[in-house]
Amino acid sequence: MFILLAEQTTPDWLAIGGFALLTLVAGGFLLFSSVMTCRLVVPDRAKKVATGMNRLLLVVPLLAVPVFAVLFLFVLKGRIYERTCHATLVLALWLYAARYWWFMIAYYKYMSVKAARGTIFIIVVLAAIAIDLTPLDKYAESVHSALGAASILPGIILLLFFYVAAFFTTCANRNKLHSDLWWDMWWL
């Protein structure tokens, strides 16, 4: 891995600052949304779907790690660091889009028209960025070439923000909402 990092070109510090800012804004907004909705109760009509979707969103990254590890080791040989950075960032973008969709499902009762439109806009933008970055060559051209060895950081930071927001939302509501969201995840 050290050989791989030594072969990288020097990163563009303006690009690193831009990606850091975008990562912190996206993660901070998800955390802010989680804090703002932590006291709301999911309506009975949406509780079953919201609970199932929340479980799925929390488990998918944990299942993706061994799947990607097998793929990278046995099927997709070469450019492993680049593929790992790419998979992490694209997975995080899809998780953010799905989490905002979860907000739409779980808290539709409390959303104003402006908030619903804003949430839909965020979902569309995140999905568009994820679709745009899905081809590895496009990712390598736009993100990896600009950030170099630091290109793993936006995906990891977004995933950390995702789990902090998910943990905060479900633990803050575990007595009022559905107590089986987070704590029962460990017993699946």
The confidence score (pLDDT) of residue 10 equals 57
Query: Does a structural domain hold residue 36?
Result: no
**In the numeric block, which tokens belong to residue 64?**
């993706």
Q: What is the mean pLDDT of the chain?
A: 77
Confidence of residue 61 (pLDDT cuts 50, 70, 90): confident
**In the numeric block, which tokens belong to residue 185?**
């995840």
Query: Does a structural domain hold residue 8?
Result: no
Query: Does a structural domain hold residue 113?
Result: yes
Query: Is the pLDDT higher at 12 or at 40?
Result: 40
SS3 state at 133: helix
Q: How large a percentage of the chain has pLDDT more than 70?
A: 81
The count of domains in the chain is: 1
Query: Does a structural domain hold residue 2?
Result: no
Q: How large a percentage of the chain has pLDDT more than 90?
A: 5
Query: Does a structural domain hold residue 140?
Result: yes
User: How far apart are alpha carbons 103 and 26 in whole angstroms?
Assistant: 15
150-178 per-position pLDDT tens digit: 778 888 988 988 888 887 776 555 544 44
The confidence score (pLDDT) of residue 183 equals 43
Structural domain for 156, as ranges? 13-31+44-187
Helices 80-106, 13-37: axis angle to 10 degrees equals 30
72, 137 contact by CB (below 8 A): no
Smallest CA-to-CA distance from 172 within 69, 73, 34 is with: 34
Query: Does a structural domain hold residue 4?
Result: no
The confidence score (pLDDT) of residue 6 equals 45
Query: Is the pLDDT higher at 20 or at 118?
Result: 118
182-186 long-range CB contacts below 8 Å, 24 or more apart?
182/58, 185/55, 185/58, 185/59
Query: Does a structural domain hold residue 3?
Result: no
Query: Does a structural domain hold residue 114?
Result: yes
